[in-house]
Structure 1
Protein backbone atom coordinates (compact mmCIF):
# COMPACT_ATOMS: atom_id res chain seq x y z
CA UNK A 1 0.00 0.00 0.00
CA UNK A 2 1.37 3.39 -0.98
CA UNK A 3 1.95 5.74 1.95
CA UNK A 4 0.79 9.34 1.48
CA UNK A 5 3.12 12.28 1.96
CA UNK A 6 1.20 13.37 5.07
CA UNK A 7 1.49 9.94 6.70
CA UNK A 8 5.17 9.74 5.81
CA UNK A 9 5.77 13.20 7.27
CA UNK A 10 4.02 12.48 10.59
CA UNK A 11 6.02 9.27 10.96
CA UNK A 12 9.19 11.24 10.30
CA UNK A 13 8.26 13.97 12.80
CA UNK A 14 7.49 11.40 15.50
CA UNK A 15 10.26 8.93 14.79
CA UNK A 16 11.57 9.14 18.37
CA UNK A 17 8.14 8.93 19.99
CA UNK A 18 8.65 5.66 21.88
CA UNK A 19 11.91 7.00 23.27
CA UNK A 20 10.09 10.16 24.38
CA UNK A 21 7.60 8.03 26.27
CA UNK A 22 10.40 6.09 27.97
CA UNK A 23 12.21 9.30 28.91
CA UNK A 24 9.01 10.84 30.28
CA UNK A 25 8.69 7.97 32.74
CA UNK A 26 12.39 8.11 33.65
CA UNK A 27 12.27 11.82 34.38
CA UNK A 28 12.62 12.47 38.13
CA UNK A 29 10.32 14.69 40.16
CA UNK A 30 11.04 18.32 40.89
CA UNK A 31 12.47 19.15 44.33
CA UNK A 32 8.82 19.76 45.32
CA UNK A 33 8.07 16.07 44.54
CA UNK A 34 5.97 17.21 41.56
CA UNK A 35 6.35 15.80 38.06
CA UNK A 36 6.98 18.58 35.53
CA UNK A 37 5.54 17.97 32.06
CA UNK A 38 6.07 19.51 28.63
CA UNK A 39 3.59 22.28 29.35
CA UNK A 40 3.04 24.37 32.43
CA UNK A 41 -0.28 23.17 33.80
CA UNK A 42 -2.71 25.88 34.77
CA UNK A 43 -6.44 26.02 35.29
CA UNK A 44 -8.51 26.56 32.14
CA UNK A 45 -11.54 27.46 34.24
CA UNK A 46 -11.93 30.97 35.58
CA UNK A 47 -11.70 30.88 39.35
CA UNK A 48 -10.33 27.32 39.26
CA UNK A 49 -6.93 26.12 40.27
CA UNK A 50 -4.50 23.31 39.60
CA UNK A 51 -4.63 20.38 41.98
CA UNK A 52 -1.83 18.00 42.92
CA UNK A 53 -2.69 14.34 43.36
CA UNK A 54 -0.27 12.48 45.69
CA UNK A 55 0.17 9.31 43.66
CA UNK A 56 1.53 6.29 45.50
CA UNK A 57 1.84 4.42 42.21
CA UNK A 58 4.02 7.17 40.69
CA UNK A 59 5.92 8.06 43.88
CA UNK A 60 5.22 11.76 43.37
CA UNK A 61 2.67 14.50 42.81
CA UNK A 62 0.63 14.46 39.61
CA UNK A 63 -0.59 17.86 38.36
CA UNK A 64 -4.23 18.01 37.31
CA UNK A 65 -6.31 20.80 35.76
CA UNK A 66 -9.84 19.62 36.41
CA UNK A 67 -12.03 17.32 38.47
CA UNK A 68 -12.45 15.11 35.41
CA UNK A 69 -8.70 14.55 35.37
CA UNK A 70 -8.77 13.82 39.10
CA UNK A 71 -11.50 11.24 38.50
CA UNK A 72 -9.33 9.58 35.84
CA UNK A 73 -6.19 9.66 37.99
CA UNK A 74 -8.08 7.88 40.77
CA UNK A 75 -9.19 5.20 38.30
CA UNK A 76 -5.62 4.74 37.06
CA UNK A 77 -4.36 4.52 40.63
CA UNK A 78 -6.79 1.66 41.33
CA UNK A 79 -6.18 -0.29 38.10
CA UNK A 80 -3.76 -3.17 38.66
CA UNK A 81 -2.83 -3.25 34.97
CA UNK A 82 -1.55 0.34 35.14
CA UNK A 83 2.08 0.54 36.22
CA UNK A 84 2.44 4.34 36.15
CA UNK A 85 1.17 7.46 34.43
CA UNK A 86 2.08 11.10 33.78
CA UNK A 87 0.19 14.25 32.74
CA UNK A 88 1.12 16.65 29.91
CA UNK A 89 4.39 14.79 29.43
CA UNK A 90 4.95 14.19 25.68
CA UNK A 91 4.58 16.15 22.45
CA UNK A 92 3.00 14.38 19.47
CA UNK A 93 3.53 16.24 16.19
CA UNK A 94 0.68 16.56 13.70
CA UNK A 95 2.58 18.86 11.33
CA UNK A 96 5.92 20.65 11.55
CA UNK A 97 4.18 23.58 13.27
CA UNK A 98 1.41 21.80 15.19
CA UNK A 99 1.53 19.28 17.98
CA UNK A 100 -0.60 18.10 20.87
CA UNK A 101 0.36 17.30 24.44
CA UNK A 102 -2.07 14.62 25.63
CA UNK A 103 -3.56 14.80 29.12
CA UNK A 104 -2.27 11.41 30.20
CA UNK A 105 0.38 9.02 29.01
CA UNK A 106 0.12 5.63 30.65
CA UNK A 107 2.48 2.67 31.02
CA UNK A 108 0.57 -0.58 31.37
CA UNK A 109 1.61 -4.20 31.71
CA UNK A 110 1.17 -4.45 27.94
CA UNK A 111 2.73 -1.21 26.66
CA UNK A 112 2.05 2.50 26.39
CA UNK A 113 -1.29 4.28 26.05
CA UNK A 114 -2.43 7.85 25.50
CA UNK A 115 -5.60 9.02 27.27
CA UNK A 116 -7.51 12.17 26.35
CA UNK A 117 -10.14 13.63 28.69
CA UNK A 118 -13.04 15.78 27.44
CA UNK A 119 -16.25 16.92 29.16
CA UNK A 120 -18.42 15.53 26.33
CA UNK A 121 -17.09 13.60 23.33
CA UNK A 122 -20.42 13.96 21.52
CA UNK A 123 -20.03 17.74 21.26
CA UNK A 124 -16.49 17.82 19.87
CA UNK A 125 -15.99 19.95 16.78
CA UNK A 126 -15.15 18.29 13.47
CA UNK A 127 -11.64 19.71 13.71
CA UNK A 128 -11.03 18.09 17.09
CA UNK A 129 -12.54 14.79 15.96
CA UNK A 130 -10.28 14.72 12.89
CA UNK A 131 -7.31 15.64 15.05
CA UNK A 132 -8.04 12.74 17.40
CA UNK A 133 -8.28 10.39 14.42
CA UNK A 134 -4.92 11.59 13.18
CA UNK A 135 -3.34 11.13 16.62
CA UNK A 136 -4.78 7.62 16.83
CA UNK A 137 -3.31 6.81 13.41
CA UNK A 138 0.11 8.17 14.37
CA UNK A 139 0.19 6.21 17.63
CA UNK A 140 -0.89 3.01 15.91
CA UNK A 141 2.45 3.06 14.04
CA UNK A 142 4.16 2.58 17.41
CA UNK A 143 1.64 0.10 18.89
CA UNK A 144 0.47 2.77 21.34
CA UNK A 145 -3.23 2.66 22.20
CA UNK A 146 -5.24 5.88 22.03
CA UNK A 147 -8.28 6.13 24.32
CA UNK A 148 -10.78 8.91 25.00
CA UNK A 149 -12.90 9.52 28.10
CA UNK A 150 -15.64 11.92 29.12
CA UNK A 151 -18.23 12.38 31.89
CA UNK A 152 -20.14 9.31 30.73
CA UNK A 153 -17.16 6.96 31.22
CA UNK A 154 -15.38 8.62 34.16
CA UNK A 155 -16.20 8.35 37.84
CA UNK A 156 -18.99 10.67 38.95
CA UNK A 157 -18.27 13.51 41.39
CA UNK A 158 -19.86 11.56 44.21
CA UNK A 159 -17.76 8.48 43.38
CA UNK A 160 -14.37 10.19 43.09
CA UNK A 161 -14.88 12.21 46.28
CA UNK A 162 -15.84 9.01 48.12
CA UNK A 163 -12.83 7.13 46.73
CA UNK A 164 -10.39 10.00 47.25
CA UNK A 165 -11.23 10.04 50.97
CA UNK A 166 -10.59 6.29 51.21
CA UNK A 167 -7.37 6.64 49.20
CA UNK A 168 -5.93 9.37 51.43
CA UNK A 169 -6.86 7.48 54.62
CA UNK A 170 -5.61 4.10 53.38
CA UNK A 171 -2.19 5.56 52.53
CA UNK A 172 -1.77 7.87 55.52
CA UNK A 173 0.16 5.20 57.43
CA UNK A 174 1.58 1.85 56.42
CA UNK A 175 -0.83 -1.01 57.04
CA UNK A 176 0.57 -4.24 58.46
CA UNK A 177 0.28 -7.16 56.04
CA UNK A 178 -1.03 -9.57 58.70
CA UNK A 179 -3.81 -7.09 59.54
CA UNK A 180 -4.82 -7.01 55.86
CA UNK A 181 -4.94 -10.80 55.77
CA UNK A 182 -7.09 -10.91 58.92
CA UNK A 183 -9.36 -8.18 57.58
CA UNK A 184 -9.87 -10.05 54.31
CA UNK A 185 -11.18 -13.11 56.19
CA UNK A 186 -13.46 -10.94 58.33
CA UNK A 187 -14.80 -9.02 55.32
CA UNK A 188 -15.62 -12.25 53.48
CA UNK A 189 -17.83 -13.34 56.37
CA UNK A 190 -19.18 -9.88 57.28
CA UNK A 191 -22.30 -8.02 56.23
CA UNK A 192 -21.95 -4.36 55.23
CA UNK A 193 -23.55 -1.78 52.95
CA UNK A 194 -21.48 1.34 53.55
CA UNK A 195 -18.11 2.66 54.63
CA UNK A 196 -19.42 3.15 58.16
CA UNK A 197 -20.52 -0.50 58.27
CA UNK A 198 -16.97 -1.49 57.34
CA UNK A 199 -15.48 0.82 59.96
CA UNK A 200 -17.68 -0.81 62.59
CA UNK A 201 -16.67 -4.26 61.38
CA UNK A 202 -12.98 -3.37 61.69
CA UNK A 203 -13.19 -1.77 65.15
CA UNK A 204 -15.28 -4.64 66.50
CA UNK A 205 -12.41 -6.93 65.50
CA UNK A 206 -9.68 -4.66 66.93
CA UNK A 207 -8.51 -3.51 63.51
CA UNK A 208 -7.92 0.03 62.26
CA UNK A 209 -10.61 1.70 60.19
CA UNK A 210 -8.00 2.65 57.57
CA UNK A 211 -7.95 -1.03 56.59
CA UNK A 212 -11.59 -0.65 55.52
CA UNK A 213 -10.51 2.27 53.32
CA UNK A 214 -7.79 0.10 51.79
CA UNK A 215 -10.32 -2.54 50.77
CA UNK A 216 -12.74 0.08 49.45
CA UNK A 217 -10.12 1.69 47.25
CA UNK A 218 -7.93 -1.20 46.11
CA UNK A 219 -10.27 -4.20 46.33
CA UNK A 220 -13.42 -2.34 45.21
CA UNK A 221 -15.56 -4.18 47.73
CA UNK A 222 -18.41 -1.63 47.76
CA UNK A 223 -18.81 -1.81 44.01
CA UNK A 224 -17.42 1.64 43.16
Structure 2
Protein backbone atom coordinates (compact mmCIF):
# COMPACT_ATOMS: atom_id res chain seq x y z
CA UNK A 1 0.00 0.00 0.00
CA UNK A 2 1.34 3.40 -1.00
CA UNK A 3 2.10 5.69 1.95
CA UNK A 4 0.65 9.16 2.18
CA UNK A 5 3.36 11.78 2.10
CA UNK A 6 3.99 13.24 5.56
CA UNK A 7 1.21 11.16 7.12
CA UNK A 8 0.30 13.00 10.39
CA UNK A 9 -1.00 9.72 11.84
CA UNK A 10 2.03 7.58 10.98
CA UNK A 11 2.55 6.90 14.71
CA UNK A 12 -0.90 5.31 15.16
CA UNK A 13 0.39 1.79 15.84
CA UNK A 14 2.93 3.23 18.26
CA UNK A 15 0.11 5.07 20.05
CA UNK A 16 -1.81 1.80 20.34
CA UNK A 17 1.16 -0.04 21.79
CA UNK A 18 1.77 2.73 24.33
CA UNK A 19 -1.92 2.90 25.23
CA UNK A 20 -1.94 -0.68 26.48
CA UNK A 21 1.48 -0.38 28.13
CA UNK A 22 0.57 2.79 30.01
CA UNK A 23 -0.09 1.99 33.65
CA UNK A 24 -2.58 3.50 36.04
CA UNK A 25 -1.95 6.55 38.19
CA UNK A 26 -1.65 6.47 41.99
CA UNK A 27 -5.46 6.30 42.25
CA UNK A 28 -5.63 3.29 39.94
CA UNK A 29 -7.07 5.27 37.01
CA UNK A 30 -6.08 4.30 33.46
CA UNK A 31 -6.05 7.66 31.71
CA UNK A 32 -5.93 8.06 27.96
CA UNK A 33 -4.09 10.74 25.99
CA UNK A 34 -7.05 13.02 26.58
CA UNK A 35 -7.91 12.99 30.27
CA UNK A 36 -11.58 12.83 31.24
CA UNK A 37 -12.04 15.16 34.18
CA UNK A 38 -14.55 13.88 36.69
CA UNK A 39 -17.43 16.25 37.41
CA UNK A 40 -17.27 18.05 34.06
CA UNK A 41 -20.28 20.30 33.57
CA UNK A 42 -22.92 18.80 31.28
CA UNK A 43 -21.38 15.30 31.29
CA UNK A 44 -22.07 12.18 33.36
CA UNK A 45 -18.46 11.36 34.06
CA UNK A 46 -17.52 8.40 36.22
CA UNK A 47 -14.87 5.77 36.81
CA UNK A 48 -15.72 2.19 35.87
CA UNK A 49 -13.87 -0.52 37.88
CA UNK A 50 -12.73 -2.78 35.04
CA UNK A 51 -11.75 -6.34 35.87
CA UNK A 52 -10.24 -6.91 32.42
CA UNK A 53 -8.01 -3.86 32.71
CA UNK A 54 -7.29 -4.20 36.44
CA UNK A 55 -7.97 -0.51 36.94
CA UNK A 56 -10.48 2.32 36.76
CA UNK A 57 -11.63 3.29 33.27
CA UNK A 58 -12.71 6.96 32.89
CA UNK A 59 -15.96 7.44 31.00
CA UNK A 60 -18.07 10.53 30.33
CA UNK A 61 -21.62 9.33 29.68
CA UNK A 62 -24.09 6.65 30.71
CA UNK A 63 -23.92 5.31 27.16
CA UNK A 64 -20.15 4.87 27.48
CA UNK A 65 -20.71 3.09 30.80
CA UNK A 66 -23.15 0.74 29.08
CA UNK A 67 -20.59 0.03 26.37
CA UNK A 68 -17.82 -0.60 28.90
CA UNK A 69 -20.12 -3.20 30.46
CA UNK A 70 -20.61 -4.81 27.03
CA UNK A 71 -16.85 -4.99 26.52
CA UNK A 72 -16.49 -6.66 29.92
CA UNK A 73 -19.19 -9.18 28.94
CA UNK A 74 -17.55 -10.00 25.59
CA UNK A 75 -15.23 -12.94 26.28
CA UNK A 76 -13.28 -12.24 23.08
CA UNK A 77 -12.19 -8.82 24.42
CA UNK A 78 -8.87 -8.88 26.28
CA UNK A 79 -8.61 -5.22 27.26
CA UNK A 80 -9.69 -1.73 26.27
CA UNK A 81 -8.93 1.93 26.92
CA UNK A 82 -10.83 5.21 26.59
CA UNK A 83 -9.62 8.38 24.85
CA UNK A 84 -6.37 6.54 24.14
CA UNK A 85 -5.60 7.74 20.61
CA UNK A 86 -5.13 11.12 18.99
CA UNK A 87 -6.23 11.17 15.36
CA UNK A 88 -4.95 14.20 13.47
CA UNK A 89 -7.63 15.33 11.01
CA UNK A 90 -5.84 18.48 9.89
CA UNK A 91 -3.16 20.85 11.09
CA UNK A 92 -5.62 22.42 13.52
CA UNK A 93 -8.16 19.65 14.20
CA UNK A 94 -7.79 16.36 16.04
CA UNK A 95 -10.08 13.65 17.39
CA UNK A 96 -9.91 11.30 20.38
CA UNK A 97 -12.05 8.18 19.72
CA UNK A 98 -14.02 6.83 22.67
CA UNK A 99 -12.71 3.25 22.88
CA UNK A 100 -9.61 1.35 21.80
CA UNK A 101 -10.33 -2.39 22.01
CA UNK A 102 -7.95 -5.37 21.92
CA UNK A 103 -9.25 -8.88 21.13
CA UNK A 104 -7.93 -12.32 22.04
CA UNK A 105 -6.96 -13.03 18.41
CA UNK A 106 -4.66 -9.99 18.38
CA UNK A 107 -7.03 -7.64 16.54
CA UNK A 108 -7.33 -4.04 17.64
CA UNK A 109 -10.35 -1.91 16.83
CA UNK A 110 -11.42 1.68 17.41
CA UNK A 111 -15.02 2.23 18.54
CA UNK A 112 -16.97 5.48 18.80
CA UNK A 113 -20.14 5.67 20.91
CA UNK A 114 -23.09 7.78 19.74
CA UNK A 115 -26.77 7.89 20.82
CA UNK A 116 -28.00 6.96 17.32
CA UNK A 117 -25.53 6.07 14.57
CA UNK A 118 -28.27 6.29 11.94
CA UNK A 119 -29.27 9.82 12.88
CA UNK A 120 -26.02 11.80 12.75
CA UNK A 121 -25.90 15.31 11.37
CA UNK A 122 -24.30 15.61 7.95
CA UNK A 123 -21.28 17.31 9.53
CA UNK A 124 -20.79 14.53 12.10
CA UNK A 125 -21.33 11.80 9.51
CA UNK A 126 -18.63 13.31 7.28
CA UNK A 127 -16.28 13.60 10.24
CA UNK A 128 -16.75 9.94 11.17
CA UNK A 129 -16.15 8.97 7.55
CA UNK A 130 -12.85 10.88 7.61
CA UNK A 131 -11.82 9.22 10.87
CA UNK A 132 -12.77 5.78 9.56
CA UNK A 133 -10.78 6.35 6.37
CA UNK A 134 -7.67 7.34 8.34
CA UNK A 135 -7.91 4.41 10.75
CA UNK A 136 -8.73 1.87 8.02
CA UNK A 137 -5.71 3.11 6.06
CA UNK A 138 -3.58 1.84 8.94
CA UNK A 139 -5.30 -1.58 8.73
CA UNK A 140 -7.40 -1.03 11.86
CA UNK A 141 -11.16 -1.47 11.98
CA UNK A 142 -13.34 1.47 13.02
CA UNK A 143 -17.01 1.36 13.92
CA UNK A 144 -19.69 3.48 15.52
CA UNK A 145 -21.89 1.86 18.17
CA UNK A 146 -25.09 3.27 19.65
CA UNK A 147 -27.92 2.66 22.14
CA UNK A 148 -29.05 -0.41 20.17
CA UNK A 149 -25.72 -2.14 20.85
CA UNK A 150 -25.89 -1.85 24.65
CA UNK A 151 -28.15 -2.65 27.60
CA UNK A 152 -29.79 0.37 29.24
CA UNK A 153 -32.34 1.13 31.95
CA UNK A 154 -33.14 -1.37 34.69
CA UNK A 155 -31.28 -4.20 32.92
CA UNK A 156 -28.12 -2.07 32.91
CA UNK A 157 -28.50 -1.68 36.68
CA UNK A 158 -29.00 -5.44 36.89
CA UNK A 159 -25.80 -6.12 34.94
CA UNK A 160 -23.83 -3.85 37.26
CA UNK A 161 -25.37 -5.73 40.19
CA UNK A 162 -24.19 -9.06 38.75
CA UNK A 163 -20.79 -7.61 37.81
CA UNK A 164 -20.16 -6.42 41.36
CA UNK A 165 -20.87 -9.93 42.64
CA UNK A 166 -18.62 -11.85 40.26
CA UNK A 167 -15.77 -11.84 42.76
CA UNK A 168 -12.48 -13.44 41.79
CA UNK A 169 -13.83 -16.97 41.42
CA UNK A 170 -13.01 -18.56 38.06
CA UNK A 171 -15.37 -21.38 37.08
CA UNK A 172 -14.06 -24.33 35.08
CA UNK A 173 -15.37 -25.08 31.59
CA UNK A 174 -16.72 -28.36 32.95
CA UNK A 175 -18.87 -26.60 35.57
CA UNK A 176 -20.07 -24.00 33.06
CA UNK A 177 -21.04 -26.71 30.54
CA UNK A 178 -22.94 -28.62 33.23
CA UNK A 179 -24.79 -25.47 34.30
CA UNK A 180 -25.76 -24.56 30.74
CA UNK A 181 -27.19 -28.05 30.19
CA UNK A 182 -29.46 -27.95 33.26
CA UNK A 183 -30.70 -24.35 32.97
CA UNK A 184 -33.43 -23.80 30.33
CA UNK A 185 -32.41 -21.16 27.77
CA UNK A 186 -35.90 -20.69 26.30
CA UNK A 187 -38.09 -18.11 27.99
CA UNK A 188 -37.06 -16.27 31.15
CA UNK A 189 -36.67 -17.55 34.67
CA UNK A 190 -36.76 -15.85 38.03
CA UNK A 191 -33.30 -15.31 39.50
CA UNK A 192 -34.26 -17.49 42.47
CA UNK A 193 -35.29 -20.25 40.06
CA UNK A 194 -31.86 -20.17 38.42
CA UNK A 195 -30.18 -20.44 41.81
CA UNK A 196 -32.48 -23.32 42.80
CA UNK A 197 -31.67 -25.24 39.61
CA UNK A 198 -27.96 -24.83 40.29
CA UNK A 199 -28.38 -25.96 43.90
CA UNK A 200 -30.47 -29.01 42.90
CA UNK A 201 -27.70 -30.06 40.52
CA UNK A 202 -24.93 -29.70 43.11
CA UNK A 203 -23.58 -26.55 41.47
CA UNK A 204 -22.55 -23.34 43.30
CA UNK A 205 -25.48 -20.89 43.40
CA UNK A 206 -23.05 -17.98 42.95
CA UNK A 207 -22.43 -19.22 39.41
CA UNK A 208 -25.71 -17.53 38.48
CA UNK A 209 -24.05 -14.09 38.48
CA UNK A 210 -21.30 -15.31 36.14
CA UNK A 211 -23.59 -17.19 33.76
CA UNK A 212 -25.93 -14.22 33.36
CA UNK A 213 -23.27 -11.53 33.07
CA UNK A 214 -21.25 -13.41 30.45
CA UNK A 215 -24.37 -14.25 28.37
CA UNK A 216 -24.37 -18.01 28.92
CA UNK A 217 -28.02 -17.79 29.96
CA UNK A 218 -30.72 -15.11 29.45
CA UNK A 219 -31.33 -12.24 31.83
CA UNK A 220 -33.75 -13.31 34.61
CA UNK A 221 -37.19 -11.74 34.92
CA UNK A 222 -36.95 -10.78 38.58
CA UNK A 223 -34.01 -10.24 40.93
CA UNK A 224 -35.45 -9.71 44.45
CA UNK A 225 -32.37 -8.20 46.12
CA UNK A 226 -31.82 -5.77 43.25
CA UNK A 227 -35.46 -4.71 43.09
CA UNK A 228 -35.47 -3.99 46.82
CA UNK A 229 -32.21 -2.04 46.58
CA UNK A 230 -33.51 0.09 43.71
CA UNK A 231 -36.87 0.62 45.43
CA UNK A 232 -35.17 1.75 48.65
CA UNK A 233 -33.35 4.46 46.67
CA UNK A 234 -36.64 5.67 45.24
CA UNK A 235 -35.78 4.62 41.70
CA UNK A 236 -38.60 2.14 41.27
TM range (shorter): 0.7 to 0.9
Q: Quick one: structure 1 residues 176 and 110, their matched pair in 2 at CA, closer, same or farther if it must change by over 3 Å?
A: closer
Cα separation, 1, equivalents of 2:143 and 2:106 = 15
Q: Which segments of 5 or more consecutive residues in structure 2 lack a partner in the other structure?
A: 221-236
Cα separation, 2, equivalents of 1:45 and 1:204 = 51
1:14-65 deviation digits (Å, cap 9, x = unpaired): 011111011001001111111011222145663x542221111111111111
Note the 1:120-139 alignment, pairs <5 A: 120-139=116-135
Q: Is the 8 A contact 1:41 1:65 kept in 2?
A: yes
Q: Which of 59, 72, 75 is the aligned partner of 2:70?
A: 75
Q: Which segments of 5 or more consecutive residues in structure 1 lack a partner in the other structure?
A: none
Does 1:220 find its partner at 2:213?
Answer: no
For the aligned residue pairs, the C-alpha RMSD in angstroms reads 2.6
Cα separation, 2, equivalents of 1:189 and 1:12 = 56
Q: Is the 8 A contact 2:180 2:217 kept in 1?
A: no
Equivalent in the alignment of 1:146: 142
Q: TM-score, with normalisation over the residues of structure 1?
A: 0.84
Please identify, of 98-107 and 188-197, the stretch whose mean Cα deviation from structure 2 is larger. 188-197
Q: What is the deviation of 1:196?
A: 2.1
> Comparing both chains, which one has the higher relative contact order based on Cα–Cα distances under 8 Å and sequence gaps of 6 or more?
1
Cα separation, 2, equivalents of 1:75 and 1:190 = 23
Equivalent in the alignment of 2:20: 25
Q: Quick one: structure 1 residues 12 and 49, their matched pair in 2 at CA, closer, same or farther if it must change by over 3 Å?
A: same
Equivalenced residue count is: 215
The answer to which structure has the higher helix fraction is 1
